[in-house]
Copies of this chain bind each other. A is one copy, B any other.
Amino acid sequence: MAKLQKSIDKRNALVKATIELVNNNGFHATPMSKIAKMANVSPATIYLYFENKQDLVNQTYIDVKAEYTKYAFETYNESMSVSEGFEIIWKRIADFKLKECEEAMFLAQCDNTPMIDEPSRQEGIKHLQPLLDLWERGKKEGVIKPLSDYLLYAYSINPLSFLMIAQKRGAFQLDKKHIEQAYQAAWNSIKV
């Protein structure tokens, strides 16, 4: 028990260090030695928890994606109306991107580079299923436009990543008013 606990702590520390260092330097400019140092561990120890560097970053990606979607769908359930469900999910996502902005930034980098291998990318996509189901329902009920999932995602959810990154770079400050405006823009672009 104590052993297992200790192991999980180390694994978490490694994942956390990976996120932070990859955010600041990129995957290939983040040496295993630095990840080890930040996690207070020997470089060799990483290989007790992960096969190699690629495996470390793949698993980190899947972990973060799972955390992200868990948070996004936490307060949603399928008995809600489509518009109510969308609002709740959208606002949870916005919340996550602002509060856990290291994690969100890491995901953005993963989604826009060849850093993650294809199987792990596919694995990450699966987690979004509840949202796809909601859209499907919305289309059936005639509440949202009959667009491809990619268009729905591109216009309703994805812009948040851009805003979060701009904010992280200090380009501007996202406050409550912006979030509400962004939500309205998202809903306007997909509702019938």
Residues of chain A whose beta carbon lies under 8 Å from any beta carbon of chain B: 23-29, 108-109, 111-115, 145, 147-148, 150-151, 153-155, 158-160, 162-163, 165-166, 171-172, 178, 181-182, 185-186, 188-190
Give the most central of A27, A158, A186: most B CB within 10 Å: A158
Beta-carbon contact of B112 and A151 below 8 Å: no
A/B interface sample: 28 pairs, CB < 8 A: A23-B114, A24-B114, A26-B26, A26-B27, A26-B115, A28-B29, A29-B114, A109-B112, A111-B112, A111-B165, A113-B113, A145-B181, A145-B185, A147-B185, A148-B178, A150-B166, A154-B160, A154-B162, A154-B163, A154-B166, A155-B155, A155-B182, A155-B185, A158-B159, A158-B162, A185-B189, A188-B189, A189-B189
Residues on B with C-beta less than 8 A from A28 are 26-29
Residues on B with C-beta less than 8 A from A24 are 114
The count of identical subunits is: 2
Q: Is the interface of A mostly helix, strand, loop or mixed?
A: helix
